[in-house]
Chain A
Amino acid sequence: MARAARASTRIDAALLVICTLLALLAIVLPAPARDAIAAGFQRTLSRPLLALQQRSERARAAFVEREGLTARIDSLSLQVTELQGLDAENARLRRLLAMSPRVGRGFVPAEALHGQVTGESHTVLVTVGSRAGVVPNSPVVAPDGVVGRVTSVSPTSSQVILWSHPDFRVSAMSADGGTFGIVTPHLKDGASCEGMDESSCAGPERLLLEMRGVAFRDVLKQGTLVVSSGLGGVFPKGMAIGTVIGELKTTEQWTRTYLVRPATRPQDLSNVLVLAPGLVREELPALWNNPNAAEVVMSTVIAAGDSITRQAAAALVDARRRADSVTAARDAATQAAKDSVAASLAADSIAAGGSAMTVAPSAQPPVIRPPRRDSTPRRP
């Protein structure tokens, strides 16, 4: 019994010694052999463990990256939203750009700043003032048509009443010039808002205009374009005001009143042109009647870009040509200097009565080697 126990103990000790020796051998193995054995284990016995670990680490990495990806998606969404705004602004500016040649030199581009107060919803502040040549009663237009009129001017900004303001009036006519009237904001129940709080006049109706005082014999069809007639002295002739929606029933017997859908929407205003009454052309009929204006401007811009590119390319070629010529001149000068040095050396050797060695004029000068950087003594 004791012998059996002793044998078992010896076996246990032998196993421990074998295992520890093998492990120590594995530790002191050279790296290539160790890596080869480890790779063998990884391909066979340790493979399930490796797969488990890889899967877990992948899951953890995905979990950790989740928040970052969410944040990235959020920021990209924000950027997309901002880009949409930029797209809209870009389109508006292009349309303004398309208008400017036809307006002539009598305009000032400006930004419209909407007030935050409910009571000021029918006025905007534009970012140009008297320093830019804006004067009271200057018409304000957008690519779509009439926006409003300047009421007060400071050096750097101007107050503008929009077409929805109760005080807004514009002398109007149909686009064919056959029908005339006065366009005013369409107030609630046809009543005036004078003396009332502006917010009480607000409502869906305020988004429309009325063309009043149209002769009873003149009938306007739905969709007829209404433009400024230029008779009022403020707005030049031909500025788009809106389109006829239908006739309004009123108590007036000898005139007609038409409901007009405005060409511009106050809430969408951001970039406008303030016209200088003294400088603007007499008539602006072509200002809103050319649907291809934006494309024309785009092609002009592209052509200008092409010409600039061509100019830049030509300048680059010219610069390279100059650089080449300078390099050639420098090479020629260097060669001439070498020739003269060689000739003088030959002349000196002949004069010294040396051998009859002749030196060709084009012989290379002696090569001057740079000193050695290392100070190691060379063996003979």
Chain B
Amino acid sequence: MSVQRALRLILLFLVLIVLHFTLRPVLAWRAEADFLVLAVLLAAVRLRPGAAAALGFVVGILCDALVPVSFGAGAFTLAVIGFAASWLKAVFFSDNVLLHAFFFFAGKWVYDILFLILERQMGAGAMVTQLLVWSPLAAALTALTGLIVIMLFRNMLEGAPA
């Protein structure tokens, strides 16, 4: 990856992180797009699996610090998601729009599943509702947002090494 392309990727990554902490609190929807997962996924497919896991861990631990009750859960989940995304990029990250969408959808849903299990803050009923109703909705919104991001920044992202 060239330096210029790396800088663009870092910029996009930071923009998504900022959006996560500015747009989401303002919208405050029950099911909302997860810019954090999106940023990690988009960066992970351009990194080696180990680096993607480290990136996910760092981002997760920084975000977990804001909610100490679930401290570590986000870090674990994002590390796994980042590693898996980087490892599976050859399979999923093609130019097919539907595959992109599925990639983001699955990433967000798996993130929610792992996070809620590790967080251990919800009862069984609430967790099932969350995982079967709200998480898929949030994952769909995340996928939609991811597609919009890809379309907007196609020039910036295309040509990334496999």
Contact = CB atoms under 8 A, between A and B. Distances in A.
- A and B associate in one complex: yes
Given A26-B64, A38-B71, A12 B21 contact: no
B83 A12 contact: yes
Given A45-B62, A46-B62, A19 B21 contact: no
Q: Tell me the dominant secondary structure on chain A's binding face.
A: helix
A19 B25 contact: no
Nearest to B59: A49
Contacts of A337: none
A27 B76 contact: yes
B72 A25 contact: yes
Contacts of B83: 12, 16
B63 interface: yes
Contact of B66 (A20, A22, A28, A42): A42
A8 B57 CA distance: 19
A46 B68 CA distance: 12
A13 B50 contact: yes
Contacts of A8: 48, 50
Contact of A38 (B24, B51, B64, B118): B64
Interface in A21-58: 22-29, 34-35, 37-42, 45-46, 49-50, 52-53, 55-57
Most B-side CB within 10 Å, residue of A8, A15, A39, A46: A15
Q: Tell me the dominant secondary structure on chain B's binding face.
A: helix
A34 B50 contact: no
Contacts of B24: 56
A28 B72 CA distance: 8
B75 A46 contact: no
B21 A23 contact: no
Contacts of B57: 19, 22-23
Contacts of B63: 46, 49
Nearest to A54: B25
Nearest to A51: B21
Contacts of B75: 19, 22-23, 26
A25 B72 CA distance: 8
6 contacts: A22-B57, A23-B79, A27-B72, A28-B72, A46-B65, A56-B22
Kindly list the 6 A-B residue pairs having the minimum CB-CB distance in the complex, ordered from nearest.
Answer: A26-B72, A41-B65, A15-B50, A12-B50, A23-B76, A27-B72
Interface of A: 8, 11-16, 19-20, 22-29, 34-35, 37-42, 45-46, 49-50, 52-53, 55-57, 59-60, 63
Given A12-B48, A16-B80, 13 more contacts: A12-B50, A15-B51, A19-B53, A20-B80, A23-B60, A37-B65, A49-B17, A49-B66, A53-B66, A56-B21, A56-B22, A56-B25, A60-B25
